[in-house]
Amino acid sequence: MEPRAKVRKWRLTELWRRQNYVRPLGYAGHAARVPKLSELHDIRLCRETVRSWMMAEGLWKDRKQRMKPVHQPRHRRDSVGELVQIDGSHHFWFESRGPRCTLLVYIDDATSRLMHLQFVETESAFDYFTATRAYIERHGKPVAFYSDKHSTFRVNKAEALGGNGMTQFGRALHELNIDIICANTSQAKGRVERANLTLQDRLVKELRLAGISTRAAGNAFLPQFIAAHNARFAKPPFNDKDLHRLLADHESIDDAFAWKEERTVSNSLTLQYDKVIFILEPNDLTRGLARNRVTVVDYPDGRLAIRHKGVDLPYRTFDRLQQVDQAAIVENKRLGPVLAYVAERQKELDMARSKKAPRRRGQSAHLFKTG
């Protein structure tokens, strides 16, 4: 290329750079910006030229300039029960002998002691209800649990309307005077993350040696594994005081670890929960509840109560998603409200349960079945 041509090209390139065609494109890498410059501005440049512009504008960093974020080490807590890290590890725990499932892990921050392990199908509120209840019944109430930002522990939708900004699990812990703290990064709860990796190696081998292939058999095996693991790897705490607390007299662990939602009773003494109509039996108490709020209490074992000011109300159900026994409906004294509801909702009949209702994989039995 002639010297004058080189000068003209340099001046033109410098003009393009000053006009800042690169920054507004919004593409992450220089390789994606090159064809866009040609398409939008009829500017043809090589990748290295665009990369140098991006580096000058602070839009691109050389590989040597990229530094991994620094995570400062955090000292252990002083006492057992002061902070318990919890997490769920989804893995092929039974290898090819059984389905993939989740292990809920509770590890003490002060001692790295495995406090509780439990195999479940997946991470759900009901599974954490059951596992945390077993933890408290065995060890007592810790000061706080330390978790990730899973939706069981934290309301992650900033635009969520209604409610009090607390998950069902958070509400249960609040009723029992236990705090829940969410880590901002996985490195912040490194104790339980490293435990997951260790368990995915050692526990899998122990399950293989024992020939275990089901969650039930695995849960029966876990206590002896926990004892052997803690005897070898647990550390002594700095302070011998155990900060676990007993349940207070007014605290009900059964009611705390249940899914609770409020509903308004209609004039015909009916309410809806998870697409099931609950028909209150007429008596002196329920007759005055029209247009009043009641609480639906959905237990992990499948029991369900409708409660008003601490009193459980008698009810019957009509499930529009299940096949209907016509004779039973005819005998129902509240056939009118049921048929009115069916006529109103037939056009939008959906065979799926409510998206706002709890996921029921962690419940042993329940009445919310479809088909």
Number of folded domains in the chain? 3
Instruction: Please indicate, yes or no, if residue 122 is contained in any of the structural domains.
Output: yes
| Other residues' Cβ atoms within 10 Å of the Cβ of residue 96 | 6
* Same domain? 173 vs 229: yes
Residues 20 and 117 reside in one and the same domain:
no
Q: Are residues 32 and 157 in the same domain?
A: no
29 and 138 in a single domain? The answer is no
pLDDT at residue number 275: 84
Structure tokens at 235: 């550390």
Tokens of 4: 């004058």
Assess if residue 325 is contained within a domain: yes
- Is residue 110 domain-shared with residue 223, that is, in the same domain? yes
Nearest-angstrom CA–CA distance, 241 and 78: 9
Which residues in the chain come in under a pLDDT of 70? 1-74, 158-164, 186-188, 320-371
pLDDT of residue 138: 97
Nearest to 207 by CA among 97, 86, 89: 97
Q: Is 88 in the same domain as 214?
A: yes
Tokens describing residue 172? 């249960």
Whether 25 and 147 map to the same domain: the answer is no
CATH number of the domain where residue 122 is located? 3.30.420.10
Going by DSSP bridges, is the β-strand pair 114-120/101-108 parallel, antiparallel, or unpaired? antiparallel
Report pLDDT for 15.
47
Predicted pLDDT at 44: 62
User: Does 164 share its domain with 271?
Assistant: no
**Sheet of 311-312, strand order:** 259-264, 293-298, 304-308, 311-312
pLDDT of 371 reads 46
Predicted pLDDT at 330: 44
User: Do 263 and 333 fall into the same domain?
Assistant: yes
Residues 159 and 282 in one domain: no
Cα 6 to Cα 10: distance, rounded to the nearest angstrom: 6
Of the CA atoms within 13 Å of residue 92, those in its CB half-sphere come to: 5
CA dist 233 and 330 (Å) reads 65
Same structural domain for residues 223 and 269? Answer: no
* Residue 47 within any structural domain of the chain: yes
Determine the Cα angle at 107 with ends 210 and 202, to 5°.
Answer: 30
Helix or strand or coil: residue 5? helix
pLDDT reported for residue 156 = 72
CB count within 10 Å of CB 41 equals 12
User: Containing domain of residue 14, as a range?
Assistant: 3-57
| Closest by CA position to 26, among listed 17, 16, 36 | 36
Q: Is residue 222 part of a domain?
A: yes
Structure tokens at 39: 């398409």
pTM: 0.70
For residue 315, what pLDDT is reported? Answer: 94
Q: How many CB atoms lie within 10 A of CB 81?
A: 23
Q: Look at residue 10 in the predicted model and tell me its pLDDT.
A: 46
